[in-house]
């Protein structure tokens, strides 16, 4: 593929390794982060305009939707017609659609492309991208997704990538809680954890939370539970995504009682208990300590 000039804005835990992988693949990457962070092989731009001007593609990897809206407005102002804006952050569906509209008005193609795979996937170039936008925009972004990831699914129009991400993570949050509370119940019933895993992982209660990311230490494949619940995927990031799914459910008038309960439990865990900085599977030791009255 021809070498592109890429502006990369937001060089945090995820953005820095993603930008480094693009540079390693031979693209000219100009990065900018308000915190002054950099990435291997990436030239530092003085500001957003410096990263965006003359870029074939601008990629953002930012904390939330309101920051995305501000950054996108500034970047798009400096982007040429026909260039491409890709947002890889996890944000609310409204902000994704708003950003896409702003880009379209300026003749810039846009894709919302949140990821799954975490920091490990970002470093290894094995992320999964869930993309929303036009066919033309997705086709132009696809070779870059191939560098930063192992799979990209075109989910539909603007916002569809974010919709897929928050629906997936709502299922993940709910099934992780269900798996953890079932382990805590099994403990109290005197059932051996390994036997519980052997049965459930091959029965109708199986899920990614049980089979691939078992919250019980020493049981199933290696997971954050085997490393003192160091993330992994931090409980506060799960809380963020569950908040976004409830925000979307309100906007779309969807009834999501399990998603709301999962959000409330992660909020309690992160804000009032010792969940902050722990992996999201640390719900198991939380349940372990409790009885029916808390």
Give the catalytic positions in this structure.
165
Contact 16, 67 (CB under 8 A): no
C-beta closer to ligand NAD: residue 130 or 180? 130
What is the residue-wise DSSP string for 25-54? TT-EEEEE-TT----TT-EEPSSHHHHHTT
Could you say whether residue 131 binds ligand NAD (CB under 6 A)? no
Min. distance of Cβ 237 from ligand NAD in angstroms?
Answer: 6
Min. distance of Cβ 203 from ligand NAD in angstroms?
Answer: 30
Min. distance of Cβ 189 from ligand NAD in angstroms?
Answer: 34
CA distances from 134 to 103, 161, 190 (A): 12, 12, 54
Contact 240, 195 (CB under 8 A): no
Contact 219, 182 (CB under 8 A): no
Min. distance of Cβ 188 from ligand NAD in angstroms?
Answer: 33
Q: How many CA atoms lie within 13 A of 87 on its CB side?
A: 37
Nearest of 127, 130, 131 to residue 119 by alpha carbon: 127
Which residues are bridge partners to 129 per DSSP?
115, 152
Helix, strand and coil in the chain, % to nearest 5: 50, 15, 35
Per the listing, tokens 């070779």 go with: 143
Could you say whether residue 71 binds ligand NAD (CB under 6 A)? yes
Could you say whether residue 125 binds ligand NAD (CB under 6 A)? no
Which residues are bridge partners to 85 per DSSP?
58, 110
When binding is defined by CB under 6 A, the residue of 7, 15, 31, 149 that contacts ligand NAD is: 15
When binding is defined by CB under 6 A, the residue of 10, 133, 159, 275 that contacts ligand NAD is: 10
Min. distance of Cβ 68 from ligand NAD in angstroms?
Answer: 8
29: its two tokens: 């990457």
Give the list of residues 6+ apart from residue 206 with CB closer than 8 angstroms, or none: 200
The two beta strands, 57-60 and 28-32, are unpaired
Stretch that binds ligand NAD, among 12-20, 77-85, 97-105, 253-261 (CB under 6 A): 12-20
Stretch that binds ligand NAD, among 3-11, 96-104, 155-163, 207-215 (CB under 6 A): 3-11
C-beta closer to ligand NAD: residue 89 or 281? 89
C-beta closer to ligand NAD: residue 63 or 218? 63
Could you say whether residue 115 binds ligand NAD (CB under 6 A)? yes
DSSP 3-state of 217: coil
Min. distance of Cβ 109 from ligand NAD in angstroms?
Answer: 21
Could you say whether residue 35 binds ligand NAD (CB under 6 A)? yes
Binding mask 212-251 for ligand NAD (x = CB under 6 A): ---------------------x---x--x-----------
Could you say whether residue 162 binds ligand NAD (CB under 6 A)? no
C-beta closer to ligand NAD: residue 9 or 200? 9
**Residue 170 φ/ψ, nearest 5 degrees:** -65, -40
d(CA 42, CA 51): 11
What are the residues binding ligand NAD (CB under 6 A)?
9-15, 32-35, 37, 61-63, 67, 71, 89-90, 115, 118-119, 233, 237, 240
């Amino acid at each position: 593929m021809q070498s592109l000039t890429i502006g990369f804005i937001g060089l945090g835990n995820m953005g820095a390794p993603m930008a480094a992988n693009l540079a390693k693949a031979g693209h000219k990457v100009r990065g900018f982060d308000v915190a002054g962070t950099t990435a291997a092989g990436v030239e530092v731009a003085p500001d957003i305009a410096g990263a965006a001007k003359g870029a074939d593609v601008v990629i953002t990897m930012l904390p939330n939707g309101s920051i995305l809206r501000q950054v996108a407005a500034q970047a798009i102002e400096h982007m040429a017609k026909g260039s491409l804006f890709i947002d890889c952050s996890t944000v609310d569906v409204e902000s994704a659609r708003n950003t896409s509209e702003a880009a379209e008005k300026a003749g810039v193609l846009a894709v919302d492309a949140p990821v799954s795979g975490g920091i490990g996937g970002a470093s290894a170039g094995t992320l999964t991208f869930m993309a929303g936008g036009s066919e033309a925009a997705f086709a132009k972004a696809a070779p870059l997704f191939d560098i930063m990831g192992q799979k990209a699914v075109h989910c539909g129009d603007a916002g569809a990538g974010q919709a897929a991400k928050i629906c997936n993570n709502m299922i993940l949050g709910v099934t992780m809680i269900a798996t953890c509370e079932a382990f805590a119940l099994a403990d109290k019933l005197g059932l051996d954890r390994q036997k519980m895993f052997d049965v459930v992982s091959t029965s109708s209660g199986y899920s990614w939370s049980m089979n691939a990311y078992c919250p019980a230490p020493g049981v199933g494949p290696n997971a954050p539970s085997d490393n003192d619940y160091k993330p992994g995927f931090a409980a506060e990031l799960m809380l963020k995504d569950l908040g976004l799914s409830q925000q979307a459910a309100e906007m779309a008038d969807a009834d999501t009682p399990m998603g709301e309960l999962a959000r409330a439990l992660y909020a309690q865990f992160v804000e009032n208990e010792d969940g902050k900085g722990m992996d999201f599977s640390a719900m198991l030791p939380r349940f372990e300590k409790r009885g029916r009255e808390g």
